[in-house]
Amino acid sequence: MDKENKIICAVSGATGAIGKAIARQLAIKANHKVVLIVRDQGKAEQALATLKSETGNEEIYYEIVDLSRKVSIKALAGRWKGPLHILVNNAAVTPRRRGETPQGIEMQFATNVLGYFWMMESFAQILSSSAPARVVNVASYWAGDLDIDDLEFSRRRYNNNEAYRQSKQANRMLTVAFADQLRPKGITVNACHPGDVNSALSNNLGFGGHEAPDQAARTPTWLATDPIVREVTGKYFSDMREEYCRFGQDRELVEELYKKCLEY
């Protein structure tokens, strides 16, 4: 905790349905300060006002960051003041057409995979200095289709559903890689399936959703705060229960993906 005994939390994608619900559930807890990591300033200001009103917590702030760009994430870490105890990587995009960042990286891979990777990499020292600390990677049961030799759909025909599934598989695999790396630094790293919410993201994939955002946020928030999982790391959860993750068990492929991400 910081000198004011605050638990400092950062939530990416905090203007989306699930991200805002995670931020809300963290903000209503005693002594929690929440930083919304967002891309759109207008949406950030609206979310900030709503969350302060709903939670009564005035210690909510936002940072404008483009999570598809390493330089933007590095800049955030560079200007970060004080500790960070909880990092929730939640931001994701599902564009229907293949697009690239200004750096020429396919947009879903850049945001959904490298965004998580760069946040954990860039904040590792800050989290370590704040230990015990936790990272929660919001992944999904809707995962698979990873092609280690075509991560950016340069060879395959782009399909946003397939690209999303690949990104969520990658999130679960990189959780294992970073859990091993960050365990000695007092940082736990876990992944979870949040829930099925009717959102812009799910609509882009052709799906709806039957769960309320606050229901979907329960597992990520639980992983971020509950004492029962304080020492758990490198695992995958759904409905606040640990589930077997076949993707994380393939340690050779996990290591290969980690090394590929390091190249960016």
Q: Is-contact 158 167, C-beta < 8 A?
A: no
Reported as a single tens digit per residue, the pLDDT across 225-238 is 999 999 999 999 99
Would you state the pLDDT for residue 206? 65
Crossing angle between the packed helical segments 251-262 and 160-182, to the nearest 10 degrees: 100
Would you state the pLDDT for residue 198? 64
Instruction: Enter the tokens of residue 60.
Output: 């909510």
Would you state the pLDDT for residue 1? 38
Would you state the pLDDT for residue 197? 75
SS (H, E, C) 153-190: CCCCCCCHHHHHHHHHHHHHHHHHHHHHHHHHHCEEEE
Give the single-character DSSP code of 6.
P
Query: How large is the average pLDDT for residues 146-166?
Result: 97
Average pLDDT, the chain: 95
Lowest mean pLDDT among 111-115, 171-175, 191-195: 191-195
Check pLDDT > 50 for residue 2.
Answer: no
Q: Is-contact 27 1, C-beta < 8 A?
A: no
Would you state the pLDDT for residue 163? 97
Query: How large is the average pLDDT for residues 128-156?
Result: 97
Percent of the chain with pLDDT over 90: 91
First to last CA, the chain: 33
Alpha carbons 33 and 57: distance in angstroms, whole number: 8
Reported as a single tens digit per residue, the pLDDT across 238-261 is 999 999 999 999 999 999 999 999
Assign 3-state DSSP to the chain and report helix, strand, coil percentages, each to 5.
45, 15, 35
Query: How large is the average pLDDT for residues 182-198?
Result: 92
Alpha carbons 201 and 15: distance in angstroms, whole number: 12
